[in-house]
């Protein structure tokens, strides 16, 4: 028999070897040609799938892998699904493409969404990261079309808060005085407050109406009011002290006259006990005032007085005066 030509699954001089892609070598009965990007073959002729492949012929990608070589990974989430090539397909309201990590669901009246980036586009008049507040801080309402309390005008730029006893506010924010003798320019207040309002207007005007200048103006006015109150109290105290002095002088004079008459009638040793005690008490207080008024201030008092702020010296002098007359 001529063995020059071997069967298809054999090769060699005596046909003792397996032809290419035939396995196993003992029988050469299994044909297994490898498939690029899919599988190789074992020495027994079994198909061995490449990485990320599965199936009887390694024709499928394992779960969450895509592409010709099953190397593209994509796992569906709440934000996106995956196409046949492993690309991300954003679900509704998720942006941008291939990332799908920004959620933007339009809110009517507040914002819409940029279809490329997913950034919020605030509606007219709205502001903030969520477009949930009014761009004009003096406005309010779902559509920012209402003025906040005490603000008036088309853009809510006029401020007017009613002041009990002085004025109310009209629909356009102008002051309506209760007293016909006052004016809105002066906050409908009496003349004694006119200068204070002028101070506020002057300083606010110099600063262009800035908040810091308005604060400074109010501070100046309050200081003036406080100083005025302190001066009024000082004058009241001084009047009260003078009145007490006059009353004591009158009482001293009355008792002294009475004592003189009693002395003439009864002599010093026979004065009524009650008159003697009253006279002694008043005389001691009178002598104490004389001694205190004659006393020179000590070095410590001079040093302390020199350190007092100029605006407080008048008050301090008054306090010294009251202390010395107590």
pLDDT of the chain, 326 residues: tens digit per residue: 445 688 888 888 888 899 999 999 888 999 999 998 899 999 999 999 999 999 999 999 999 999 988 999 999 999 999 999 999 999 999 999 889 999 999 999 899 999 999 999 999 999 999 999 999 999 999 889 999 999 999 999 999 999 888 899 999 999 999 887 777 777 787 754 545 555 555 544 444 444 454 455 555 555 655 565 555 555 665 666 566 666 656 665 665 565 556 555 555 544 455 455 555 655 666 566 555 555 444 444 444 444 444 544 444 444 444 444 44
pLDDT of residue 323: 46
Length of the chain as a residue count: 326
- Is residue 166 within 8 Å of residue 190, measured between CB atoms? no
Judged on CB neighbours under 10 Å (0-12, 13-18, 19+), 135 is middle
What φ, ψ does residue 45 adopt, rounded to 5°? Answer: 85, 15
In Å, what is the CA distance from 13 to each residue of 5, 9, 17, 26? Answer: 9, 14, 9, 16
Angle between helices 194-206 and 211-266 (to 10 degrees): 150
Query: Which residues are 69's β-sheet partners?
Result: none
pLDDT of residue 74: 95
- Two tokens at 100? 């799908």
In Å, what is the CA distance from 253 to each residue of 186, 269, 274? Answer: 53, 21, 16
What is this structure's pTM?
A: 0.42
């Amino acid at each position: 028999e001529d063995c020059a030509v071997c069967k298809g699954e054999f090769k060699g001089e005596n046909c003792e070897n397996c032809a290419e892609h035939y396995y196993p070598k003992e029988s050469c009965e299994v044909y297994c040609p490898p498939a690029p990007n899919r599988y190789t073959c074992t020495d027994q002729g079994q198909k061995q799938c490449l990485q990320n492949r599965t199936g009887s012929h390694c024709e499928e990608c394992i779960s969450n892998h895509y592409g010709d070589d099953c190397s593209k990974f994509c796992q569906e989430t709440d934000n996106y699904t995956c196409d046949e090539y492993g690309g991300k397909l954003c679900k509704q309201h998720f942006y941008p493409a291939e990332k799908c990590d920004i959620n933007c669901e339009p809110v009517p009246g507040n914002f819409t969404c940029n279809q490329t980036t997913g950034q919020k586009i605030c509606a007219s008049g709205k502001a903030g990261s969520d477009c949930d507040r009014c761009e004009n801080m003096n406005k309010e309402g779902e559509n920012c079309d209402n003025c906040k309390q005490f603000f008036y005008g088309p853009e809510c730029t006029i401020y007017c808060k009613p002041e009990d006893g002085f004025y109310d506010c009209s629909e356009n924010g102008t002051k309506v005085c209760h007293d016909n003798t006052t004016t809105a320019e002066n906050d409908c207040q009496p003349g004694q407050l006119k200068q204070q309002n002028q101070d506020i207007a002057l300083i606010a005007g110099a600063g262009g109406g800035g908040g810091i200048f308005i604060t400074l103006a109010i501070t100046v006015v309050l200081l003036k009011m406080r100083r005025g109150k302190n001066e009024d109290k000082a004058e009241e105290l001084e009047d009260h002290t003078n009145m007490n002095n006059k009353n004591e002088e009158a009482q001293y004079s009355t008792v002294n006259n009475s004592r003189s008459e009693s002395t003439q009638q009864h002599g010093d040793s026979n004065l009524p006990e009650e008159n003697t005690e009253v006279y002694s008490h008043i005389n001691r207080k009178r002598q104490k005032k004389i001694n205190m008024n004659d006393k020179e201030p000590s070095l410590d008092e001079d040093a302390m007085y020199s350190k007092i702020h100029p605006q407080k010296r008048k008050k301090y002098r008054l306090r010294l005066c009251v202390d010395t007359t107590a």
